[in-house]
Structure formats: C-alpha cells, structure tokens
Amino acid sequence: MENCFRLKELQIEEILSLLDLAEECRLGKHCNELNGKLIANLFFEPSTRTQYSFNTAEERLGCKVINFNPQASSLQKGESFYDTVKTFESFGVDGLVIRDRADEYYRSLIGKIHCPIFNAGDGKKDHPTQSLLDLLTIRQEFGHFEGLKIAIVGDVKYSRVAHTNIEVMERLGMQCFISGPEEYRDKEYQYLNFEQAVREMDILMLLRVQHERHEQKMTLSTEEYHQQFGLTPARVKQMQEHAIIMHPAPFNRGVEIADEVVECEKSRIFKQIQNGVYVRMAVLLKVLGERR
C-alpha cells in the first residue's frame, strides 16, 4: 500500500490482513514501530474521533505529530487547499492524514504530492478507516461477515460512511439494506421499512443527519424524526437477542438515537471508537512500516 484513499482499491485479503494487524495493535504489539516518522494531520473539515484517534495511533507508534489548525492558518488569507498540502509536504513529513469536504479531493494531489496520503474522509464519498473500524467491531462480535444482515438507517444519501461500508460489506458477503426518511434515500440500495429493520437485522447502524452537506432544510422536525426513525428503548426491545447497535458518531441524542440507548447493552458505539485507534495504527504500519 502506498496510500490509503478508498477501500474499493483493496482486495478482501488485504482488508482482512489490516483487521488482523489491528487486532495485534489492540493486544499491545507494534508500539513505537514508526519511531521518528513525522506525520501531519490536515483536517479541513471538523473532526473529533478521526483526527484524535489518528493522533493517538501516531503517538502509540512513536511518530512525531503536527496537528494543522485551519482557523489559525493562511487558509484565512485565501491560501488554497493544494498550496496548504504542498507546504506540509515541503516540510519533509513522512505522511499526510487529510480530511476535506470535496469528494475525492485526493485526485487533485496524485502526481503532485509524493508522500503517502491517508484519507480521513472526503465529502460524501469515502471514509476508509471508519469502515475498517466498523468491520473490526463486527468481526469481534460475530467472528465472521458472510450472511450477516445490516441496515444503515438515516441520512444515507450524504453519508461517506454508508457508501464505503455498503461497498465493502457486500464484497464480504453481508446483506446490506438502508432505511430512514425518503428524502435521504439513495435509490442505488435496497430499502427496508424501519420497523422491519429493527426486528430482523443482526446490525442496526444509525447515522446522524448531516445538515452541513444539505442545501435544503430537513422536512421532518427533530421530534418527528425521533418518533418515526429514532432508536428508542421500546424499539430496542424488539431487536433480536444477538443484534447490536452501531453508529459512526457524533450522534444526536433524542434524534436518531434515544439518550438511554447510546450506552445500552446492545450498543457498540464506544467499542467502535476504541477500535478506531487500532485500525489507524494498522493502516499507518502498512503504508509507512516494514510491512508494505
């Protein structure tokens, strides 16, 4: 691996090997294996989990880390995305972790930026490390992927998490459905009524409504959304005994998920966040370490 742009570019064997490496990281192996490497985290869009779990992963691997602050940078004087990235490459960093609101931003950098790029989310297209942490969480729970049923519920149309997950999960033999409000449906995918999804799925993955990517205001009020598509304690009771709840976060308590459900026994939301550190360690090791 020379970069990490999209999971679509990786074979299933490579994805499973990344998950195995992430498990080794979870068990405390590979600390300080990238001692002395210098990484810059360039987040042109806000982030808590992805930015700081990359940061944690880099620190655990012994890297030195630069966290770019767009609000206090020359972006405010009109400097472009490309010139900002090129500036950090010129500092001699060993890797760039980049999030940007433009779909496939990395295409504009190919052939011009010569150090490895780790995609931390591009527009509504891809979020490869989020999908890896979702897959790791699912494999820890069920031990396999083949035949598992997942419904991704909510703002699917604008979700890079949904798009990346459905592509890779189908390749792994999972049955993927979408559910939620009509206005956020992506016609490419198989739709399931929400109440049926609650009763029949092995995994319910809820999504936040991504208002920042919408041109129009949501037609439902937040109360209507919660009533029709929110995961409430009453709906949790209807889920299969073995079924689990996932969410990439940040979540809106009282909208797509009830406050009491966030940390209920079926929720794996904070497990996903924890796994984020291990999969990001694995991706950094694959690209920058001795394991290419």
DSSP 8-state secondary structure symbol assigned to residue 159: -
Q: Which stretch binds ligand CP (CB under 6 A): 31-39, 45-53, 105-113, 209-217?
A: 45-53
Distance of closest approach, residue 118 Cβ to ligand CP, in angstroms:
13
Closest CA to 147 of 189, 176, 168, 179: 176
* Integer Cα distance of 212 and 243 in angstroms: 31
Computed on alpha carbons and rounded to an integer, the radius of gyration of the chain in Å comes to 19
Q: Which of 47, 84, 210, 222 forms a contact with ligand CP (CB under 6 A)?
A: 47
Distance of closest approach, residue 199 Cβ to ligand CP, in angstroms:
27
* Integer Cα distance of 194 and 207 in angstroms: 13
Query: Is residue 130 at the binding interface for ligand CP, with CB under 6 A as the rule?
Result: yes
Q: 3-state class of 56 per DSSP?
A: helix
Distance, CA of 275 to chain centre? 11
In the complex with ligand CP, the residue whose CB is nearer, 249 or 284, is 249
In the complex with ligand CP, the residue whose CB is nearer, 48 or 227, is 48
In the chain, the amino acid numbered 210 is Q
CA dihedral 258, 261, 267, 273 (to 10 degrees): 60
In the complex with ligand CP, the residue whose CB is nearer, 192 or 203, is 203
Distance of closest approach, residue 92 Cβ to ligand CP, in angstroms:
27
Query: Is residue 248 at the binding interface for ligand CP, with CB under 6 A as the rule?
Result: yes
Q: Which of 110, 250, 260, 270 forms a contact with ligand CP (CB under 6 A)?
A: 250
Query: Is residue 173 at the binding interface for ligand CP, with CB under 6 A as the rule?
Result: no
Q: 3-state class of 138 per DSSP?
A: helix
Q: Which of 41, 50, 55, 252 forms a contact with ligand CP (CB under 6 A)?
A: 50
Q: Which stretch binds ligand CP (CB under 6 A): 7-15, 31-39, 47-55, 83-91?
A: 47-55
Query: Is residue 270 at the binding interface for ligand CP, with CB under 6 A as the rule?
Result: no
Query: Is residue 131 at the binding interface for ligand CP, with CB under 6 A as the rule?
Result: no
Distance of closest approach, residue 227 Cβ to ligand CP, in angstroms:
25
In the complex with ligand CP, the residue whose CB is nearer, 33 or 128, is 128
Query: Is residue 211 at the binding interface for ligand CP, with CB under 6 A as the rule?
Result: no
Strand ranges (DSSP E) for 103-195?
117-122, 149-153, 175-179
How many residues touch ligand CP (CB under 6 A)?
A: 10
Taking CA atoms, 53 is separated from 61, 187, 197, 234, in Å, by: 12, 33, 31, 33
Distance of closest approach, residue 47 Cβ to ligand CP, in angstroms:
3
CB-count burial class (<10 Å; 0-12, 13-18, 19+) for 126: buried
Query: Is residue 249 at the binding interface for ligand CP, with CB under 6 A as the rule?
Result: yes
Closest CA to 7 of 238, 245, 167: 167
Query: Is residue 49 at the binding interface for ligand CP, with CB under 6 A as the rule?
Result: yes
Residue numbers at the binding site for ligand CP (CB under 6 A): 47-51, 121, 130, 248-250
